Structure 1
């Protein structure tokens, strides 16, 4: 009998590749992107274009300087980073700030660690936190939606839709709104906020597509929403005047975007199902704590980065056993 030590490896293969995964995720974000342009006007489209172009160009320059294959800049990872960053920015953000954040995401959030698959933190959220700390006024100036009017069989274009600037307004999470948004407006997207954080319905539809295509696993989105929704439900039940309700916590800000697109990043999240459940619960709980007791009204980016740092530790203690290996007790 041959005595050998079993080793792990990619013994199972699928049709999915990193390029296919990246462009599938990009495709699932198209409905939310089009709705953002419809809601906030052409200024939002300019923000998206600046972030995506700067991300790809920065990726190309980094690969060129590192003497690596420059075609990797079109593998979809840089484009996805730019799009996720753009969808977490206000539509009225200055273009130089969007460009700075996109370049920071690629250089500091990705390439400094070694490129695709090596980064410890989600690049888009790392850039958002940097911008939020350095430029808090610009990053918290959300614009009121100015959607097109299709009533009376005519298309009415409001004045603000064609402008790059907009009228700023408070969000429900900021606590400054005189009348909180209704549940329907938060779920459908007719509320002030960042580009990709308004329509929870379209984000949810894109997330379900990713689940159906097995790009992401159910463990992180479900545990993420439970970790945020459960303390919100208990807190609002105990002190409704102090804590926001569970639907407001789930459908406001970047909660849905974080649950399906940010926290589920394959590189920065744990690999085992148990680890993903713990990771998602931690993200949700941290978001509720930051929103309820912190100085920032939105806590998705901070919570995800904290749990990104804990992801290697989670993997160390909750990693699945290799098939055929002996347990510690047997050894």
Structure 2
């Protein structure tokens, strides 16, 4: 029986490899940008200009060429929300690192308040390699205070792959405390996240208000913009019920331009706090936050992660983007099983 399962799993792997497309990279001369193409089609760009408070992947496109991330603040589109300017593309950071807010930092924070926020700066691309079945891009960066004192050294590796109707990103990020003990307080906003196109928002007639860790308020209006997305977790939670619950994957699916599209985030069993809590909002913020346990459990759990100088921790996530058909729970469970075999 076990032998049969192993052979079946290997068969799945071989089938996936037979279908995968070539991944290539193109650095741009006019800025800190590396474009990622799969099967000769643009997929995303790794952006790390000094004008951003963190490096991002932006935009994200399906295999059929549909853009699934919000345009604002880099490229505002009609009928899209313009709230939360720190929600841009796909990113990884956290709301409370030694009391500094890395998550909510953006151009919108007044200079007088910037000292309460952290930056991810000094991004250095350490390598990228094209391939027939997958491509890899690696970089290092510093999680810094405003006085440039480095709290964390980041080492990130992206593994990109794709088939005829999927695009996959495996992100492996290691954070190492440098000079100081680094404390990640249990808070709501973190950790890997993306902000989606208006079609993948959930329908809503509510106006909501959100306050960041420094008391800054942001209002989010009712959707009324063709939103039709819905969440599903591996534990069967749907819609708004997904928020603040644990699961090893979460799927956001909807229809754009009369085509079924979806994004799944898959957790890894070696991650801290596995299975993660989901910070999945109806207005289009889709995030996995394993470190905010006290908030999501309403005080029943505590993590308060802490790294001593020289100590490291690694976060691993898979992003699966599908078009033309929505992946079933069985497919996502197989993806999770395969992903958990990676180091």
TM-score using structure 2 length: 0.31
Higher strand share: 2
Larger radius of gyration: 1
Higher helix share: 1
